[in-house]
Structure 1
Amino acid sequence: MEHSEELQRYRYLASKWLDHTITEDELKEFNNWYTANLDAPLNIPGSFAATESVLEARILKKLNDKFGVVAESNRHKLHGGAKISWLVRIAVAASILIAMAAGLWFYQNRTIEAQLQIVTQTDIPPGKNTAMLTFSNGTVVQLSDARKAVFINQEKLKYNDGTVVGMGTEAKGIAASELITAATPKGGTYQVILSDGTHVWLNADSKLSFPSQFTGNSRTVTLSGEAYFEVAKNKAKPFVVNYGKSAVEVLGTHFNIMAYKDEAASKVTLLEGAVKVNSGAEKVVLKPGQQAEILEEKGAAIALNNDIDTEQVIAWKNGYFMFANEPVESIMRKISRWYDVTVVYEDNQQDKALWGTVSRFKNVSEVLRRLELTGVVRFKMENLNGKGKERRIIVMK
């Protein structure tokens, strides 16, 4: 494992420990890593602490001052009753608080009630599995939010559990030439398995248009929003994704496309295989770990980014928000789509950068608390009983 990947992995485990969601196997992995690195020198910024003992003293003082922590009385219990040692607690606190000193990490301990700016009588729940299918003949089908995926075939549409999708009087099969659009609203996500076996995960506020059956020499779909693709291999029929003024051509591979209209650039990130990105007169072939960024303001020019953290790119698919030196404005666009809220900036906080990981399946107040604990931003929530644009999150200093 590369150093950057290892660091990301153990930050992730630290976050799960703080969330009380770490499993026994993950706890063993984390403890083994900590034990193996007991004698390794810490990379401590000189402005933060001169020695490890000074660092530890600062950590304990910081925890007591900020959260009222008492070492022995606040040990966490894991699944099965196993205890985490205070040494590990110090190790986690050290990594998190060093990062917090640079405005990089979110910290929360559920056993300690931090005094935050968010005071609400109601809350906004996370998004869920919800989507709508629209057929070229005008039929509209609301997909079940009790399921997570729909299989497209010419006989009957079926959910991931094998049950048939109800289509009323129209439930009599789908024409081979039928054009179908799967759309998720803000606060929605869904999986679509196309007729060729290609598996597509749709993020919130996204649309995917595709034929009920792929005919001709290619398999062509159109995307707006964001989706992750695992394309079924077929050398005779390239798979083409059109989005905006650009297109991606593949034979069989795993990749993510982010193409929201409110983003300054669309991004194609490759995880496995190879893809060709076409944008105007420019073309580029990606290798795994590379990302093509299409800059609309510069005439759809393609910028190639290497060594991309693909785990961060597809965190949404795996149920997480994962931020790496990401501007607050970019973070809040993601939160706006997932929780279906309007974001307003009272002060110029858009360019502040944050790092961190948090589950997408927490209420919005939990996510905002994480952000507030960095000390970089504060939030006020209004009209939570409303819908969509009526519900507002105000970002403040």
Structure 2
Amino acid sequence: MENSKELQRYRYLASKWLNNSITEEELREFNDWYDAGLETPLQIPGSFAATEQALEQRILQKVNSKLEVEDNQNQPGSAKIGWPMRIAIAASILIALGTGLWFYQNRTIEPRLQHVAQTDIPPGKNTAMLSFSNGAVVQLSDKRKAVFVNQNKLTYNDGSSADLDNQIRSITSNELITATTPKGGTYQVVLSDGTHVWLNADSKLSFPSEFAGNKRSVTLTGEAYFEVAKNKAKPFVVNYGSAEVEVLGTHFNIMAYKDETASQVTLLEGAVKVNNGKEKVVLKPGQQAEISEQAGAAIVLNKDIDTEQAVAWKNGYFMFANESVESIMRKISRWYDVTIVYQDNLQDKALWGTVSRFKNVSEVLKRLALTGVVRFKMDNLDGKGKERRIIVMK
């Protein structure tokens, strides 16, 4: 089994253990992998969580040792895992396991999440609206996952019509349509050429009802994952910020929120060309183009990217790999539609781990607080009188 596939498998099992959804058979598989090579099987007494640092050190040593052995066994010319990726993989498994054991073995530990209100903030959902150049607005059903733009009509993924209250009698040829997701919303839009676009929270995609001319051009603000329908005669172009991505048919993710310090294009399949003024970079699968918001910034090419992390939001979870606390909290703010307030300076703090996006915000904050890096206080969750806030502390 290839290293990357095996490690993805055990990271997946670690995530299931953390979410208490792992089956007995999967648990045996996970334990067998961890115990392989140990002189004695791993025993976890009830007080084991009291030595969290020893737990972290042991898991990190185990993962690194296993990777070292597998690297040495690789044939000449075969792909190897570099140290940056090695550390990312090890730490991802480390935090998933360490947090899971800490939480499971210490249910009486003093909660690091303080002043939790009786109400909670549920996760985001499928919600979006479409705006048309004739002024019409359609609020898309939160009971459906996708809307199809088929020439002069709109349909949901179940075949039902999306033309609510007869607001749109017909869609004119080449009419500009804008799909918008609010904070706490996500939706899939299938364009007239068959291209599938998944919109993350607080995002906007503008596109024509039909693609005329010699290219297919759309504009994005926020974040979206694209599976572009192949058409060699008509390139697909995504405009975002001051840059654009040009493709013929491929799978990629664009993160281009205005409140982020840089935009990122991550390629999963095929090839794309990123244009930023006169500068151009062609990406291969597993690579990422990053452009700082600073004027005149060059394109930074990041290689050996964990593409799973880039599209974790689309697959239903948060995934952090040495990610800053501020970056993580921006994601939480968008998905739970809550204001973030910092009581302490945490600019130099980063976290690792994987957490489901389908949990209430209190559960996500508990998982983050269990790392010992940050604490949280939630305020006014009922939303009455004041904005809902999460206060972040050391």
Q: TM-score, normalised by structure 2?
A: 0.83
Superposed CA offset, 1:296-331 (max 9, x none): 215131000000000011000000000001111111
Query: For residues 350 and 326 of structure 1, what CA distance do their matches in structure 2 show?
Result: 11
Question: Larger deviation: 1-10 or 120-129?
Answer: 1-10
- 1:320 equivalent among 313, 317, 330: 317
Q: Write the letter of the residue equivalent to 2:319.
A: M
5+ residue gaps in structure 1?
42-51, 67-89
Query: Which is worse superposed, 325-334 or 3-12?
Result: 3-12
2:284 is aligned to 287
Residue equivalent to 1:225 = 222
Report the residue type matching 1:63 in the other structure.
A
Q: What code does the residue aligned with 1:225 have?
A: G
Is the 2:60–2:94 contact (alpha carbons within 8 Å) kept by the matching residues of 1? no
Moved more, 334-343 or 14-23: 14-23
Report matched runs for 1:108-123 at 5 Å.
108=100, 109=103, 112-118=107-113, 119-123=116-120
Aligned-pair distance for 1:15?
A: 2.3
Once the 2 structures are TM-superposed, how far is the Cα of residue 373 of structure 1 from its aligned partner? 0.6
Say whether residues 1:382 and 2:379 are aligned partners.
yes
Q: Deviations over 1:139-174 (max 9, x none)?
A: 000000011100001232111111111332334221
- Confirm or deny that 1:197 pairs with 2:194: yes
Change (3 A) 1:240 1:33: same
User: SS state of the match for residue 353, structure 2?
Assistant: strand
Amino acid at match of 1:165: A
- Matched residue, 2:10: 10
Deviations 1:321-344 (A, max 9, x none): 000011111110100000011111
State the 1:378 CA deviation. Answer: 0.4
- Letter of the aligned partner of 1:144 in structure 2? S
CA distance in 1, matches of 2:6, 2:169: 52
What CA distance in whole angstroms lies between the structure 1 residues aligned with 2:384 and 2:159? 33
1-side partners of 2:393 and 2:139: how far apart? 38
CA deviations on 1:213-264 (whole Å, 9 max, x unpaired) are 1111000000000000000000000000000000000000000000000011
Residues 23-80 of structure 1: CA deviation (Å, up to 9, x unaligned): 466446435534xx52169xxxxxxxxxx89x968x76432678xxxxxxxxxxxxxx
The amino acid that maps onto 1:392 is R
Cα deviations by residue, 1:170-226 (Å, 9 ceiling, x for unpaired): 342211121000000000000000000000000000000000011110000000000
Shift of 1:348: 1.1
Aligned partners of 1:96, 1:120: CA distance in 2, in Å?
A: 37
Q: Percent identity?
A: 72
Partner SS state of residue 163, structure 2: coil
Aligned residue in 1 for 2:87: none
Aligned to 2:213: 216
Mapped contact 1:187–1:340 kept (Cα < 8 A): yes
User: Which amino acid is the alignment partner of residue 261 of structure 1?
Assistant: K
Change (3 A) 1:93 1:364: farther
Let me know the Cα RMSD of the aligned residues: 3.0
- Hey, what's the Cα distance between the residues in 2 that align with 1:304 and 1:197? 29
Runs of 5+ unmatched residues, structure 2? 63-89
Residues 1-397 of structure 1 mapped to structure 2, 5 A cutoff: 2-3=2-3, 6-23=6-23, 26-27=26-27, 29-34=29-34, 38-39=36-37, 61-63=47-49, 95=59, 104-105=95-96, 107-108=99-100, 109=103, 112-118=107-113, 119-297=116-294, 299-386=296-383, 390-397=387-394
CA drift at 1:92: 10
